[in-house]
Amino acid sequence: MQNDNLHILTATPSLANHFVAELRDVSVQHDSLRFRRNLERLGELLAYEISKTLPYETRDIVTPLATTQTQLLTAQPVLATILRAGLPMYNGMLNYFDKAYSTFVGAYRVEEENTELQINMEYLASTDLHDKILILADPMLATGRSLVKSYKGMLRHGKPVQVHIAAAIASPEGVAYVQKEVPEAHIWLGAMDERLNEHFYIVPGLGDAGDLAFGPKV
Ligand SMILES: O=P(O)(O)OC[C@H]1O[C@H](OP(=O)(O)OP(=O)(O)O)[C@H](O)[C@@H]1O
Ligand SMILES: O=c1cc[nH]c(=O)[nH]1
Ligand SMILES: [Mg+2]
């Protein structure tokens, strides 16, 4: 696995460890308000980390007393997410990149016994992506199929100049798949876990992020 473009927040202990720990902990994770807020907080932290790598330019700021100069983003990124589990992390990113335009994808895994995992993608609403910096957030990077299919679908709306993929928890298999299919991607993770199980769930993981945030699907 190539590591230059792979950043893992919990590799250096910080408050991010607390947020990820609460997402996983069976005695805490069923508080859905707290679960969503912890995903949002990780979205905020990852947005801040990504912001350190974006292009800036010098701009004048007029205060009541004088004019000063500071470095501001040359352009806002486009924020993208995958419904439905992606919404809280996306919201955290939008809290920080508060002038960003957005792209939404509706995609979900179809988990049937003894078959390959299928991804149904039924909805894509995108702003222009041509030459934009794209940040695609989804909490769980399991097989990576949802993220890669969503990203490839988005390319119909323009080729971004840079792509960042952000997830709360990833599997090594999923990261390898994203790196193979989207080698230009910068990958930002809350945590990297051990493996996928036979149902393509991340272990130790946290269970089903969408269900914990929004209730079981029927
Ligand atoms: O890497 P993958 O193997 O593709 O799995 C990850 C996907 O699974 C979850 O969504 P899910 O299909 O459960 O839909 P949901 O958001 O409606 O719960 C998660 O939010 C990702 O989008
Ligand atoms: O572990 C996993 C895998 C896919 N989706 C989830 O919510 N969790
Ligand atoms: Mg789900």
Distance from the CA of 97 to the center of ligand 2, in angstroms? 26
* CA–CA distance, 59 with 41 (Å, rounded to integer): 29
Distance from the CA of 198 to the center of ligand 3, in angstroms? 16
Residue bearing tokens 């994203």: 178
Check if 185 has its Cβ closer than 6 Å to any atom of ligand 1. Answer: no
Atom of ligand 1 nearest to the CA of 146: 4
Single pTM value for the model: 0.96
Residues of the chain scoring pLDDT < 70 = 1-2, 114
User: What ipTM goes with this model?
Assistant: 0.97
Which of 140, 141, 150 for mutating ligand 2's site (highest number of atoms within 8 Å of CB)?
140
Which of 83, 117, 122, 140 for mutating ligand 1's site (highest number of atoms within 8 Å of CB)?
140
Which of 200, 212, 214, 217 for mutating ligand 2's site (highest number of atoms within 8 Å of CB)?
200
User: What pLDDT does residue 112 have?
Assistant: 76
- Note whether 152 and 126 are within 8 A (CB): no
User: What pLDDT does residue 124 have?
Assistant: 98
Q: Whose CA is nearest to atom 7 of ligand 2?
A: 208
* CA–CA distance, 190 with 130 (Å, rounded to integer): 28
- Note whether 154 and 126 are within 8 A (CB): yes
Nearest ligand, CA of residue 119?
1
* CA–CA distance, 111 with 106 (Å, rounded to integer): 16
Distance from the CA of 34 to the center of ligand 1, in angstroms? 20
